Structure formats: C-alpha cells, structure tokens
C-alpha cells in the first residue's frame, strides 16, 4: 500500500474524530448549562461550566477518537429513542388534564366576551388574566343587552301578497 493512501486515511480519521469530538462537546455543554440554569442557587451557569469543562472536553475527546463505534451507536440510540417515544397514546390523566385546561380557556373566553352564564355549578372566576391590571373595568355580563339599531329604511317589512 502506498504511503499517500495511509496518510489520506489517517487524515480522514483525524478530521472525523475532531468533528465528532466537537459535536459531542457542544451537546454536553448545552445539556450541562441547561441543568445548571435549573438549579436554585446557580447565578451564572456558563461560568460554572467553564470552571468544570475539562471533564467534558476529555469525554468529548474519547468520543471523537472512537468515532467509528460511537457515532453509529449514538445514531442508533437516538433513532430508537425517537421511535419508542414518538406520539404515545394519552393516559386518562392526560386527557382529563387537557379537558380541564380547555374548559378553563373556554370559560375565560366566554367571560371576556360576556357570554358566560352565572351558574352555581361553575367556579367563580376573577377578572381574566388580560384584564387584571384594569380593576375598574365593568363586567360585560352586568349590562343588559341592547337591541340592534336599525334605521327605518333598512327594517324588514312583511311581504303582502295581493289577492
């Protein structure tokens, strides 16, 4: 085998290793910063990551060196996770939660539009979230509905058939 073929193969392997290590480092960095930002006492998750980034870089380097094995395995893992977790059937708890959320949204919209009924069965809701800053705003349901104003020339007159 010629020397140039060996050099080309090694160069390709090193470039693929660097690309895989870079991708792995980016995924781990994003995941670590997201986890740190959810932590209660952490004020600067990026600075905390940068102080502990040597472990992440070492893991990414190992991932990159073993790319002929790790990249296909990682791809198979992501594909299987997607196929397993994609659109599972809803449980009864999820359906009930969605139904309650939709019912609350409908009640809020009815209240905003003045269409709601004042049933004893319905919970007494305060002012809708959009109007909470306007405490003095009158309720629509407190007013009596008015008949539409129609000018005399636009009124509908009964048709008389001549016999």
pLDDT digits 0-9 by tens, 91-141:
899 999 999 999 999 999 988 888 865 554 455 455 555 555 554 445 555
Which tokens sit at 38? 């959810």
Q: pLDDT (tens digit, 9 = 90+) per residue, 28-65?
A: 889 888 888 888 777 888 888 888 777 888 889 888 88
Contact 70, 63 (CB under 8 A): yes
Which tokens sit at 137? 């705003």
Buried b / exposed e along 57-74 (16+ C-beta atoms within 10 A): eeebbebbbebeeebeeb
Q: Which own/partner contact pairs does 48-53 have at CB distance under 8 Å and 24+ positions apart?
A: 53/29
List Cβ neighbours of 139 (8 Å cut-off, separation of 6 or more).
114
CA distance 89 to 152: 59
- In percent, the amount of the chain with pLDDT more than 70 equals 70
Prediction pTM value: 0.47
Contact 56, 98 (CB under 8 A): no
């Amino acid at each position: 085998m010629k020397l140039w073929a060996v050099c080309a193969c090694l160069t390709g392997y090193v470039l693929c290793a660097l690309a895989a290590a870079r991708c792995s480092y980016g995924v781990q960095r994003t995941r670590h910063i997201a986890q740190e930002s959810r932590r209660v006492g952490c004020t600067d998750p990026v600075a905390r990551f940068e102080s502990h980034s040597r472990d992440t870089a070492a893991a990414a380097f190992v991932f990159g060196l073993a790319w002929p094995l790790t990249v296909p395995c990682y791809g198979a893992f992501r594909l299987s996770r997607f196929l397993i977790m994609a659109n599972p059937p809803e449980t009864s708890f999820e359906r009930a939660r969605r139904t309650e959320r939709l019912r609350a949204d409908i009640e809020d919209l009815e209240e905003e539009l003045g269409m709601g009924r004042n049933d004893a069965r319905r919970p007494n809701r305060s002012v809708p979230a959009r109007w909470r800053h306007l405490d003095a705003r009158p309720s629509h349901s407190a007013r009596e509905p008015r008949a539409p104003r129609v000018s005399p020339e636009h009124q509908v007159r009964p048709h008389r058939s001549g016999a």
